[in-house]
Amino acid sequence: MADGEWGRLMQAAQTGDRVAYHQLLTAIGAWLRRYYATRLPSWMVDDAAQDALLAVHEKRHTYDPARPFGPWLAAIARYKWIDRLRRLKSAPTEALTDDLAVPDHGEAVATAAALERLLGGIKPAQADVIRLVKLQGLSIEEAAAQTGQSVSLVKVNIHRGLNRLALVARRA
């Protein structure tokens, strides 16, 4: 919508034309969202546009129909943009300290080492396909292609290897 059309709608709104005012707010609302989308983080765009629309509403009596509407609106949008930037600057942030909590991976390392010890106690062909299928998530067919075993042999080795691991784990 052209600047002249917005000015005409604002002039009609100043005389009480509700339909013209609704059309104006709808049109400039879309323009404000585009304006802020290039200047602010996406999560701030709608709030900034609403702030500017409220400012237009509160200051509508200051618009002079003899002057262009675009610069009047752009001034309001700019001031509201600056307000948002100031809020970003003064927003509280969490201070980082030197004693950042780092998760302890000791248990995971110990578990992986115990699993490797268990897999070391079964036949290498069984351990290889168990690692590929059960730990790395490969399909039976992919494990067969990678190890050179047939699909049925991979299935047998997984079955026998898991049974052997269960037996060893029960004894421990």
Reported as a single tens digit per residue, the pLDDT across 98-125 is 676 667 777 877 888 888 888 888 899 9
pTM: 0.52
CB 48 within 8 A of CB 40: yes
Amino acid at 140: I
**Domains of the chain: residue spans and CATH:** 3-90 (1.10.1740.10), 119-171 (1.10.10.10)
CB 130 within 8 A of CB 138: no
CB 73 within 8 A of CB 6: yes
Burial of 93 (0-12, 13-18, 19+ CB in 10 A): exposed
H or E stretch including 118? helix 106-120
pLDDT tens-digit readout, 25-70: 999 999 999 999 999 888 889 999 999 999 999 999 999 999 999 9
